[in-house]
């Protein structure tokens, strides 16, 4: 395992901005739109909505694989979630994710995210109890829908 050890911080819109958008319901009755973060660079890609169930993982979290959707944003909306972990990374100069600059965030139950196109991220990781999400992305059925890469394993620590 590499010596990289990351401490997760609370998810805020400002800290997450280089990687996408934080989604939170409005504080007052009404509706809030998040359309500007939804994107697809492939004209034949169709909107795809799925539901996902996840089991909690033990702490600390070991990360050994990251993924990206090079031509599409991807949105996670919590349906029944406690705290959940978000791990993101920029591109390395030589290609692939730059794990040395990876960031980790802990999202509250009411926070969702939209990963910007081409953002490296870890799969959905829930911390306290089983969880369910709605997931929205764009798909055209080709290998360009998603890319998974093994990375030198690193640890993400989460405060209880």
Residue 48 lies in a domain: yes
* The model's pTM: 0.93
Which CATH number do you get for residue 43? Answer: 2.60.120.480
In the block, tokens 């080709």 appear at 142
Residue 68 lies in a domain: yes
Spell out the residues 6+ positions from residue 136 whose beta carbon is closer than 8 angstroms to its own: 38, 47, 48, 49, 74, 75, 77
Residue 138 lies in a domain: yes
Residue 31 lies in a domain: no
In the block, tokens 């870890």 appear at 122
Q: Are 147 and 65 in contact (CB under 8 A)?
A: no
For the stretch 75-122, pLDDT in tens is 999 999 999 999 999 999 888 999 999 999 999 999 999 999 999 999
Residue 118 lies in a domain: yes
Over 60: is that where the pLDDT of 53 sits? yes
Distance CA 39, CA 149 (A): 22
Residue 10 lies in a domain: yes
In 3D, which of 92, 72, 76, 96 has the Cα closest to residue 84? Answer: 76
Residue 160: predicted pLDDT: 76
Distance CA 65, CA 101 (A): 15
Spell out the residues 6+ positions from residue 31 whose beta carbon is closer than 8 angstroms to its own: none
Over 50: is that where the pLDDT of 1 sits? no
Mean pLDDT of the chain: 94
Residue 2: predicted pLDDT: 55
Residue 16 lies in a domain: yes
Residue 63 lies in a domain: yes
**How many domains is the chain partitioned into structurally?**
1
Residue 121 sits in which domain range?
A: 5-26+36-157
In 3D, which of 152, 148, 153 has the Cα closest to residue 69? Answer: 148
């Amino acid at each position: 395992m590499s010596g990289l050890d990351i401490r997760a911080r609370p998810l805020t819109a400002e800290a997450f901005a280089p990687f996408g958008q934080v989604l939170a319901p409005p504080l007052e009755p009404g509706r809030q739109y998040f359309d500007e973060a939804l994107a697809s660079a492939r004209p034949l890609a169709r909107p795809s909505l799925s539901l996902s169930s996840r089991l909690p993982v033990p702490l600390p979290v070991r990360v050994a694989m990251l993924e990206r959707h090079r031509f599409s944003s991807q949105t996670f909306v919590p349906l029944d979630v406690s705290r959940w972990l978000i791990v993101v990374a920029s591109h390395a100069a030589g290609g692939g994710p730059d794990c040395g600059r990876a960031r980790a965030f802990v999202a509250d139950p009411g926070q969702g995210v939209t990963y910007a196109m081409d953002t490296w991220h870890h799969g959905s990781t829930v911390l306290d109890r089983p969880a369910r999400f709605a997931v929205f992305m764009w798909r055209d059925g080709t290998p360009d829908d998603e890319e998974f890469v093994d990375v030198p394993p690193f640890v993400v620590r989460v405060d209880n």
